[in-house]
Homo-oligomer: A and B are copies of this chain.
C-alpha cells in the first residue's frame, strides 16, 4: 500500500488485536476514527481506558462491580445460599438476561485447560472453596461450557468440595429449544435421551 502512514498502521494494528476484528475491518474503523473530531476520539479512548483502570471486581464473586460487592451479592432479594459457578462475566450476564435465576454467582475467570496452560491455580477456585467453608453456600449450580474442559473443571471443583455438605448440580444439557432433532449432534442427542426428564402434563 503506497498510501499509508506509520500512525495509521499503529492504530490498525491496535484495533486488529480486538477479537473478531481483522486487518480489513480495523482499517475501516481506523479511517472512521480519523474522520471523527478530536474531542469524540478523546472521549472514546477515555471511556475505554477509564473502564480498564477504574473498574472494580466484586470481592465475593469476582463479577464487575461499582463498589466492593456486585449488585447480586448485595441484593437482599437474592438467594445468597444458591451460587451459580460460571466461566466468565459474560456467562453470568447471559444467565442474568434469562431472568430465570435468583441466586448469586461465582466467576472462575476461565476453565481448566491444560492445552492453554490454565490450571486450577489460575482460576478463582480457592475463593469458591472459601465461600463454601464459611457456610454461606447451600447449593451450587455449575453453568460451565459443555466441553471436556468444562467437565474437567466441574470434576475438579466437586473433588475440592467433597467434604462439605452442599448440593451440586449442573445446568441441564440437551437439544436446543426450537432446534430440530435432525440437526442435533449425536453426542447431545444421545445425552438428552440418557438424561430424559419425566413429562409433566400441566
Residues of A participating in the B interface, judged by any CB pair closer than 8 Å? 1-8, 10-11, 13-15, 17-21, 25, 27-34, 36, 38, 40-45, 47-56, 63-66, 70-72, 75, 88-90, 92-93, 96-97, 105
If A17-B44, A53-B38 touch, does A65 touch B5 (CB 8 Å cutoff)? yes
Residue numbers in B under 8 Å from A54 (CB-CB): 7
- A-B contacts, 13 of them at CB < 8 A, read A2-B72, A3-B72, A4-B64, A7-B54, A10-B50, A11-B48, A14-B48, A20-B25, A27-B90, A31-B90, A36-B52, A41-B52, A44-B48
Residue numbers in B under 8 Å from A71 (CB-CB): 2-4
In the complex, are the beta carbons of A51 and B64 less than 8 A apart? no
In the complex, are the beta carbons of A10 and B51 less than 8 A apart? yes
Residue numbers in B under 8 Å from A90 (CB-CB): 27-28, 31
In the complex, are the beta carbons of A7 and B89 less than 8 A apart? no
Complex Cα gap A1–B64 (Å): 12
Residue numbers in B under 8 Å from A38 (CB-CB): 52-53
Apart from A33-B52, A34-B55, what 4 extra A-B contacts exist at CB < 8 Å? A7-B51, A13-B47, A17-B40, A20-B28
Residue numbers in B under 8 Å from A47 (CB-CB): 10-11, 13-14
Chain B's closest residue to A50 (CB) is B7
In the complex, are the beta carbons of B2 and A96 less than 8 A apart? yes
Chain B's closest residue to A56 (CB) is B5
In the complex, are the beta carbons of B10 and A89 less than 8 A apart? no
Complex Cα gap A48–B16 (Å): 12
Residue numbers in B under 8 Å from A33 (CB-CB): 18, 48, 51-52
In the complex, are the beta carbons of A3 and B89 less than 8 A apart? yes
Residue numbers in B under 8 Å from A20 (CB-CB): 25, 28
